[in-house]
Amino acid sequence: MAKTLIFLGPPGAGKGTQAQRLVEEKGFVQLSTGDILREAVKKGTELGKKAKEYMEAGKLVPDDLIIAIIEEKLKELEGKDIILDGFPRTIPQAEALDRMLPAVGRTLDKVILFDLSDEEILRRLTGRRVDPKTGKVYHIEFNPPPEGVEVIQREDDREEVIRKRLEVYHQQTAPLIEYYRNQNKLFVVDASKSPDEVYKEILSVI
């Protein structure tokens, strides 16, 4: 049976990097809610049209609609190993996902929690700089820009913005940790290690 994984963790913990590697090396499909919603809107499906109304009004797309759109997507991906990234974000979404997966012939295999302290996240994200000409991303500590390259800090990499995102994460998403721990599905990886070490840890879990 195809694998179904969930990546949980705060912004900046490296979920996207590791998901990309599983996509390239192991043939997984990475599903982020934002991408799925945008794709449904672009295709103009019935569900996509409904989602578009909410998005254009600047409202959050309701859980039942998100679940229906994800269900539609999973039917297309029958037999493929998938990673859900950025979903579920809340307990009601997790409960809805539990009900939906059997309908598409799947079970949830593992939930991988990327464990990283708030301070380390701030260090990673506030240090990011972008070259506005090329879009290349640097880091003042880990990967400084070459001399003569002028870089800027993006709005969403400012400390106060990141603190706000972390606050939302802890309020909404942290309860999911207990939810999946109680289902014996939760596996914790130390996201402060090097990307290669984190990847090895993930492979040993899945």
Tokens 């402060």, residue located: 192
The domain of 139 spans 4-204
What domain count does the chain have? 1
- Structure confidence at residue 33 as a pLDDT band (50, 70, 90): confident
Q: Which residues pair with 29 in a beta bridge?
A: 82
- Structure confidence at residue 117 as a pLDDT band (50, 70, 90): very high
Annotated binding-site residue numbers: 12-17, 33, 38, 59-61, 86-89, 93, 128, 137-138, 154, 165, 193
- Domain harbouring 141, CATH code: 3.40.50.300
Annotated binding-site residue numbers for AMP: 33, 38, 59-61, 86-89, 93, 154, 165
Answer for the pair 13, 45: CB distance below 8 angstroms, yes or no: no
How far is 167 from 165, CA to CA, in rounded Å?
A: 5
Q: Six-digit token pair at 75?
A: 């039917």
pLDDT in tens, 100-112: 999 999 999 999 9
pTM of the entire structure? 0.85
Nearest to 109 by CA among 16, 2, 196, 190: 2
- Structure confidence at residue 34 as a pLDDT band (50, 70, 90): confident
pLDDT in tens, 130-188: 999 999 999 999 899 999 999 999 988 999 999 998 998 898 888 999 999 999 999 99
Residues noted as catalytic:
15, 89, 128, 154, 165
Tokens 């700089």, residue located: 129
How far is 45 from 52, CA to CA, in rounded Å?
A: 10
Q: Which residues pair with 31 in a beta bridge?
A: 84
